[in-house]
């Protein structure tokens, strides 16, 4: 290796991607935290501990973030992380930045971009976060004032806080000190990372013949050695160099062998197109050091502070340079890599082996696929899962022309997929005409097989996009039809579906497309498409364009001289559809200053632009306005970023823009006004960021009914904004930031104004001083959500509220003066959620049965509530009812048969539950399945909870009945539900100190060993497990959750047993009057899902895992054991007893018979004590009514 004396200058031309080229680094952990609370103490200590353990961690160093929306860099970092760590602190909720970051993290978790999300509660109670109390309540009070015109954000933030705080996390108050707490977090993360690891099958899937190539590269890299190694990968285009480098990179990234990892795509294009190697090099270094300030330094790279180079010497880096074609650049990088830490590795891919010979330690030349590998790959693309439709010899003859090139094999195979034999013969004839076909000529055969529409789309993409792109970006330029065509091109392997949302066209295919167009005519101005910078500049300078030109795409970074556009350059291009003059990659205000060459127009364009123009982009457009006679009737997108325009059109009248959807004029610093947009009815997005001369904004926004995106940040002179908000309900997602002195106050009101927009969908009046809701609220016919939570003075609701036919959610939580609900005079078909917790409600009206679609009813802590109406049992859609801490409720009437979750915890006066009529007990085993709340596939959507914690006054008969209820519920699921009850679990809790006798394995303590397990775990006769513990607890804890650890053979599985809503923070540490029984039922399907998740690191799967893919024991083993753990141990809690039961299909009938005998005894006892009145009264009813009573009672007893 060369000495380090030349390191600084040589590195400047080494890895020099364009400023906006994203280095897709992967992280183990993403930290979300409130800087002012924790950055300098706890977070810095945690970050140091994670770094010391070689856990790659993303921590945003920005102390002050501008605006409310998170930057794309952070969004990408979240997606590229395995674990999201949310550090909740006192002031976390006061930052909209943090709240948006939290929402993004949860979204990534749902899309499986993140494997785990772990909440950390730092010096704050989890319930404060969960319920937004104390500092969080104050923060949301300020947010409601700040976002009074954008209230749609607040419910999203609240839901995110509640959802995250319900996850299993760590609480600093449960540790003896900060160092112990940090260590617990690190250990937890390491455990989760182990679950994220997956086998090499993940990397090899669908890649033929790559295993041996990977082993060869890994051998050349010699990861264990301390030197710095430079490894080259070379080979022809399409041979798989990038794929091989990417797979090796991913494996090494997950091995955590390096401090920082960077994969730089398309280095050849980036270095050719960018104008400032010095600036771009600093951009790369800033990423290696995670130091933003390096990129922004004005000093040249060579003059950077010595500390920068000192820090680089401590970075053990893995860097991949993909597609390099300059040996000079590579030699410079070779000289500069000495500044990296020992053990660093650099991988370079290139088509030219000569580029590598003078610098690399080793070179791996990627060989063509052999005949067997070629056949396997071709068959995979040409026939998929089906049998060949042609002769075997014809297949072998076809693949011979691909010469073992993977790209050619994929494209050729995909183009022939599902084609009849006659078309195969036609392709073979073309191939046989020239035995020495080059790969690009083989690829052209696939292109020739496309229809004209697909050919046009292929060519447009080949000319418009030089690198990766997204579907949305393509749609914004090429139109809606692109969606279908892209899907077809992907199927033909002419476009690759890259990571995330990115799409890519291989260089060989792009070159092939451009060569086809180049062959159309020797004169560039007579071709259908232009993108070569030299040719585009020639046509524009010399006015040689003709009607043949439909597409012009010019990357300003590629021009090598100042270009003066001829005033009549576009006069003959009457068929021009797409005109794109842009700075490569993402545009910023600095792009124009980076590049020294300009595209200028001396005075004005004498010719009109084509009326067929669909997309017009001209970054740094040099004129003060667009041509006055330009008729943009077909214009869908208008992008003039960094332009010199003062007005778009000199015409004072409104210009007709019937199909315009996007207008982007950002950083147009001379723009003084926006034109009248009344004739742009389809406009969806407007971006005026950085338009510093904009003084007035048009009032025509009120007519833009489809507008969903408005960005005005940086418009420092903007004052007149009133007209924008005459119809604010139409603006579902607005970015209005960084105004100066343009905040307009809204007066507080003691009543709801009757002037709300009629199309309002969400009305949030939480914590206001309103005393009544006027009947005129019925005018809000589209209202879907009404939030009156914690309106302390609200005393009543009008009966007209039942006429809100679109209402889906009504929130009346904390309305202490609200004693009753109005009569519900007509069915409300859409109301699904009714929240009454902590309100003054004393009773519910019998007419509540008119809430025919109600699914969730929460009445927690309604201290005045004594009685529930019998009509509650008629709510056939109700799935969750919560009555926690309703201290005056003494009995429950029969409830809905659809109920899946019932929370009746801490109802201290509750004495009894609905009795089961004896005639029902006799007929229970014959009740058909539809009345147990199953979906059409026999599996309900979520787990069932029935909890009666803290109801110490329940008599012994009722407690026994609850134990029976649990058994009935479990057996009903198994008997009537398909697939042994689906993938859900069931949870029960009630006061008691005995484990039901049907748990045939019991112990006093927490462990049960030497259980004889099923001889064959895949045997359909084995259905499920049931677990039970008796918990002794002197005081309430914050959580009532326990885990079951199951060991069989060498495997260990942890079964989570979570009981939510069993303790509110305000009731923590209250004395508990009795022991409690906790029971959990886990189906085999749910357990196999858990095993699969642990094996492959997947979570939140929605599909069913085939049994053969689960690593069950295949023989009877006697070392099966179970142990119960209280997840949050404390001195006042002790597991006294533990029971386990394996449930088989044969047990169903045996247990039912036993239960039926028991119920018959109870039936006879009832008959003896009450005579035959009950039976006689039942016999007087007709059959339908009798069945209805049975079903209602089933809801009150079984469910």
pLDDT, tens digit (0-9, with 9 covering 90-100), for 5-15? 333 332 223 32
Structure tokens at 426: 């036609």
> Which residue in the list 22, 25, 101, 689 is annotated as catalytic?
101
Would you state the pLDDT for residue 716?
65
Predicted confidence band at 603 (pLDDT cuts at 50, 70, 90)?
confident
Q: Contact at 8 Å (CB) between 320 and 31?
A: no
Predicted confidence band at 768 (pLDDT cuts at 50, 70, 90)?
low
The residue among 19 and 981 whose pLDDT is bigger is: 981
Would you state the pLDDT for residue 440?
74
**Phi, psi angles (nearest 5°) of residue 119:** -80, 135
| 663-699 pLDDT tens trace | 999 999 999 888 888 888 888 888 888 888 887 766 5
pLDDT of residue 24 exceeding 70, the answer is no
pLDDT of residue 805 exceeding 80, the answer is yes
Predicted confidence band at 816 (pLDDT cuts at 50, 70, 90)?
very high
Would you state the pLDDT for residue 181?
93
Least confident of 288-297, 404-413, 1097-1106, 1139-1148: 1097-1106
| 1021-1079 pLDDT tens trace | 888 889 999 988 776 654 556 778 777 665 667 676 766 555 555 555 567 767 889 99
Residue 1143: which H helix or E strand, with range? strand 1133-1144
Owner of token pair 């590598």: 356
Would you state the pLDDT for residue 697?
66
The residue among 73 and 910 whose pLDDT is bigger is: 910
Structure tokens at 279: 């600036």
pLDDT of residue 981 exceeding 50, the answer is no
| 703-713 pLDDT tens trace | 777 776 667 66
pLDDT of residue 917 exceeding 70, the answer is no
1158 vs 1178: CA distance, rounded Å: 22
Structure tokens at 1025: 């497990």
Average confidence score pLDDT of the chain: 76
1179 vs 1175: CA distance, rounded Å: 6
The residue among 893 and 350 whose pLDDT is bigger is: 350
Would you state the pLDDT for residue 1062?
56
Helices then strands, counting H and E runs in the chain, come out as 35, 41
Q: Which CATH superfamily is domain 33-196 in?
A: Toll/interleukin-1 receptor homology (TIR) domain (3.40.50.10140)
Would you state the pLDDT for residue 1049?
62
How confident is the model over 168-196, as a mean pLDDT? Answer: 87
Least confident of 61-65, 468-472, 652-656, 742-746: 742-746
Predicted confidence band at 326 (pLDDT cuts at 50, 70, 90)?
confident
CATH-assigned architecture of domain 512-730: Alpha-Beta Horseshoe (3.80)
Characterize 630-659 residue by residue with b for buried, 16 or more Cβ atoms within 10 angstroms of its Cβ, and e for exposed: bebebbbbbbbbbbebebbbeeeeebebeb
Structure tokens at 289: 């050091």
Predicted confidence band at 1179 (pLDDT cuts at 50, 70, 90)?
very low
How confident is the model over 916-936, as a mean pLDDT? Answer: 31
Would you state the pLDDT for residue 278?
64
Would you state the pLDDT for residue 989?
87
22 is catalytic: no
How confident is the model over 132-154, as a mean pLDDT? Answer: 89
pLDDT of residue 859 exceeding 70, the answer is yes
How confident is the model over 467-473, as a mean pLDDT? Answer: 82
pLDDT of residue 483 exceeding 60, the answer is yes
Would you state the pLDDT for residue 940?
34
pLDDT of residue 897 exceeding 90, the answer is no
Least confident of 211-225, 302-316, 641-655, 809-823: 302-316
Considering the entire predicted model, what is its pTM? 0.44
600 vs 1044: CA distance, rounded Å: 73
Structure tokens at 1049: 């053979």
Comparing CA positions, the residue from 1042, 1041, 1039 lying closest to residue 1065 is: 1039
Would you state the pLDDT for residue 590?
53
Structure tokens at 844: 């519910």
Predicted confidence band at 771 (pLDDT cuts at 50, 70, 90)?
confident
CATH-assigned architecture of domain 371-449: Orthogonal Bundle (1.10)
Q: Which CATH superfamily is domain 4-17+203-365 in?
A: P-loop containing nucleotide triphosphate hydrolases (3.40.50.300)
Would you state the pLDDT for residue 224?
76
Comparing CA positions, the residue from 1051, 1048, 1026, 1056 lying closest to residue 1126 is: 1056
Would you state the pLDDT for residue 643?
93
Predicted confidence band at 132 (pLDDT cuts at 50, 70, 90)?
very high
Characterize 755-764 residue by residue with b for buried, 16 or more Cβ atoms within 10 angstroms of its Cβ, and e for exposed: eeeeebebbb
| 993-1007 pLDDT tens trace | 999 988 989 999 888
What kind of fold does domain 747-886 have according to CATH? 3.80.10
Structure tokens at 986: 């069931």
Least confident of 433-447, 468-482, 1112-1126: 1112-1126
Structure tokens at 457: 């789309």
Q: Is 1106 exposed, middle or buried (0-12, 13-18, 19+ CB in 10 A)?
A: exposed
61 vs 44: CA distance, rounded Å: 11
Portion of the chain with pLDDT greater than 90, in percent? 23
Q: Contact at 8 Å (CB) between 955 and 915?
A: no
Predicted confidence band at 1127 (pLDDT cuts at 50, 70, 90)?
low
The residue among 649 and 272 whose pLDDT is bigger is: 649
């Amino acid at each position: 290796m060369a000495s380090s004396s030349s390191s600084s200058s040589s590195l400047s031309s080494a890895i020099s991607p364009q400023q906006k080229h994203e280095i897709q680094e992967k992280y183990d952990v993403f930290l979300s935290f409130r800087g002012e609370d924790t950055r300098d103490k706890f977070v810095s200590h945690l970050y140091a501990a994670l770094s010391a353990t070689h856990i790659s961690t993303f921590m945003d160093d920005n102390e002050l973030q501008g605006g409310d929306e998170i930057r794309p860099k952070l969004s990408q970092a979240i997606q590229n992380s395995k674990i999201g760590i949310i550090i909740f602190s006192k002031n976390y909720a006061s930052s909209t930045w943090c709240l948006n970051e939290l929402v993004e993290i949860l979204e990534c978790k749902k899309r499986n971009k993140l494997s785990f999300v772990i909440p950390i509660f730092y010096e704050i109670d989890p319930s404060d976060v969960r319920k937004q109390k104390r500092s969080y309540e104050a923060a949301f009070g300020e947010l409601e004032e700040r976002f009074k015109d954008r209230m749609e954000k607040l419910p999203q933030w609240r839901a995110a806080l509640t959802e995250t705080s319900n996850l299993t996390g760590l609480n600093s108050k449960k540790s003896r000190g900060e160092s112990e707490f940090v260590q617990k977090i690190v250990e937890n993360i390491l455990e989760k990372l182990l679950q994220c690891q997956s086998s090499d099958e993940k990397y090899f899937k669908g890649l033929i013949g790559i295993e041996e190539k990977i082993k060869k590269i890994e051998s050349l890299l010699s990861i264990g050695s301390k030197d710095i190694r430079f490894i080259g990968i070379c080979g022809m285009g399409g041979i798989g160099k990038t794929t091989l480098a990417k797979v090796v990179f991913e494996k090494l990234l997950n091995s955590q062998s390096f401090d920082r990892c960077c994969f730089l795509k398309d280095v050849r294009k980036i270095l050719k197109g960018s104008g400032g190697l010095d600036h771009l090099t600093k951009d790369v270094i800033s990423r290696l050091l995670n130091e933003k300030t390096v990129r922004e330094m004005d000093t040249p790279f060579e003059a950077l502070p010595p500390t920068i180079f000192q820090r680089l010497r401590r970075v053990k880096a893995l860097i991949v340079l993909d597609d390099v074609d300059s040996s000079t650049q590579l030699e410079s990088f070779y000289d500069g890599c000495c500044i990296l830490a020992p053990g660093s590795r650099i991988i370079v891919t290139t088509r030219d082996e000569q580029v590598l010979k003078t610098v690399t330690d080793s070179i791996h030349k990627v060989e063509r696929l052999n005949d067997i590998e070629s056949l396997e790959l071709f068959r995979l693309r040409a026939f998929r899962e089906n049998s060949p439709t042609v002769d075997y010899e014809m297949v072998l003859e076809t693949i011979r022309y691909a010469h073992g090139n993977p790209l050619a094999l994929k494209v050729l195979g995909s183009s022939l997929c599902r084609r009849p034999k006659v078309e195969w013969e036609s392709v073979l004839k073309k191939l046989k005409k020239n035995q020495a076909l080059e790969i690009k000529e083989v690829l052209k055969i696939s292109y020739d097989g496309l229809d004209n529409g697909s050919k046009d789309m292929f060519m447009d993409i080949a000319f418009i996009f030089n690198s990766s792109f997204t579907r949305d970006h393509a749609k914004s330029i090429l139109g809606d039809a692109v969606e279908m065509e892209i899907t077809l091109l992907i199927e033909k392997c002419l476009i690759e579906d890259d990571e995330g949302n990115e799409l890519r066209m291989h260089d060989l295919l792009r070159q092939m497309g451009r060569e086809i167009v180049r062959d159309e005519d020797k004169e560039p101005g007579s071709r259908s498409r232009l993108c070569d910078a030299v040719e585009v500049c020639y046509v524009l300078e010399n006015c040689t364009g003709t009607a043949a030109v439909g597409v012009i795409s010019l990357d300003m970074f590629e021009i090598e001289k100042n270009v003066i556009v001829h005033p009549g350059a576009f006069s003959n291009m009457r068929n021009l559809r797409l005109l794109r003059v842009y700075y490569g990659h993402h545009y910023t205000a600095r792009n124009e200053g980076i590049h020294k060459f300009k595209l200028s127009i001396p005075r004005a364009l004498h010719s009109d632009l084509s009326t067929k123009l669909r997309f017009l982009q001209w970054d740094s457009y040099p004129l003060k306005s667009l041509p006055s006679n330009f008729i943009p009737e077909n214009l869908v997108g208008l992008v003039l970023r960094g332009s010199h325009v003062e007005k778009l059109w000199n015409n004072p009248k409104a210009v007709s823009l019937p199909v315009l959807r996007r207008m982007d004029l950002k950083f147009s610093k001379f723009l003084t006004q926006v034109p009248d947009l009344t004739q742009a009815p389809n406009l969806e997005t407007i971006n005026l960021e950085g338009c510093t001369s904009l003084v007035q904004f048009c009032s025509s926004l009120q007519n833009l009914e489809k507008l969903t995106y408005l960005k005005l940040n940086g418009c420092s002179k903007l004052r007149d904004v009133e007209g924008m908000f005459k119809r604010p309900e139409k603006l579902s997602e607005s970015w209005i930031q960084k105004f100066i002195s343009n905040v307009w106050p809204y007066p507080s009101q003691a009543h709801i104004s009757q002037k709300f927009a009629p199309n309002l969908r969400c009305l949030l009046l939480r914590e206001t001083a309103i005393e009544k809701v006027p009947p005129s609220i019925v005018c809000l016919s589209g209202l879907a959500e009404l939030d009156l939570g914690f309106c302390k003075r609200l005393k009543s609701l009008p009966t007209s509220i039942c006429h809100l036919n679109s209402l889906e959610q009504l929130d009346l939580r904390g309305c202490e003066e609200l004693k009753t609900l109005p009569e519900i005079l007509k069915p409300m078909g859409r109301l699904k959620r009714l929240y009454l917790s902590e309100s003054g409600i004393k009773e519910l009206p019998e007419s509540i049965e008119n809430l025919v679609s109600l699914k969730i009813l929460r009445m927690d802590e309604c201290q005045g509530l004594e009685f529930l109406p019998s009509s509650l049992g008629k709510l056939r859609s109700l799935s969750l009812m919560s009555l926690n801490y309703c201290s005056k409720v003494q009995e429950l009437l029969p409830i809905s048969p659809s109920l899946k979750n019932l929370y009746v915890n801490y109802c201290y006066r509750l004495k009894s539950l609905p009795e089961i009529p004896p005639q029902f007990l006799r007929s229970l085993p014959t009740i058909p399945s539809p009345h147990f709340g199953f979906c059409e596939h026999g599996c309900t959507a979520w787990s069932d909870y029935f909890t009666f914690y803290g109801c110490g006054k329940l008599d012994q008969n009722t407690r026994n009945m609850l134990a029976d209820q649990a058994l009935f519920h479990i057996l009903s699921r198994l008997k009537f539900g398909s697939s042994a009850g689906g993938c859900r679990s069931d949870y029960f809790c009630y006061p008691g100190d005995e484990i039901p006798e049907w748990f045939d394995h019991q112990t006093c303590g927490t462990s049960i060993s030497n259980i004889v397990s099923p001889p064959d775990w895949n045997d359909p006769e084995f259905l499920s497990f049931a677990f039970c513990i008796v918990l002794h607890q002197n005081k309430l804890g914050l959580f009532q959750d326990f885990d079951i650890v199951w060991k069989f053979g060498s495997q260990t599985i942890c079964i989570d047993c979570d009981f939510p809503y069993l303790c509110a923070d305000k009731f923590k540490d209250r004395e508990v009057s009795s022991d409690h029984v906790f029971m959990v039922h886990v189906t085999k399907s749910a357990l196999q899902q858990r095993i699969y998740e642990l094996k492959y690191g997947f979570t939140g799967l929605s599909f069913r895992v085939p049994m053969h893919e689960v690593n069950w024991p295949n023989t009877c083993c006697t070392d099966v054991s179970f142990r119960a753990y209280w997840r949050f141990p404390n001195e006042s809690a002790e597991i006294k007893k533990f029971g386990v039961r394996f449930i088989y299909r044969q047990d169903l009938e045996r247990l039912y018979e036993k239960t039926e005998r028991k119920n018959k005894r109870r039936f006879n006892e009832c008959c003896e004590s009450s005579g035959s009145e009950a039976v006689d009264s039942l016999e007087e009813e007709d059959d339908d009514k009798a069945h209805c009573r049975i079903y209602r009672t089933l809801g009150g007893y079984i469910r």
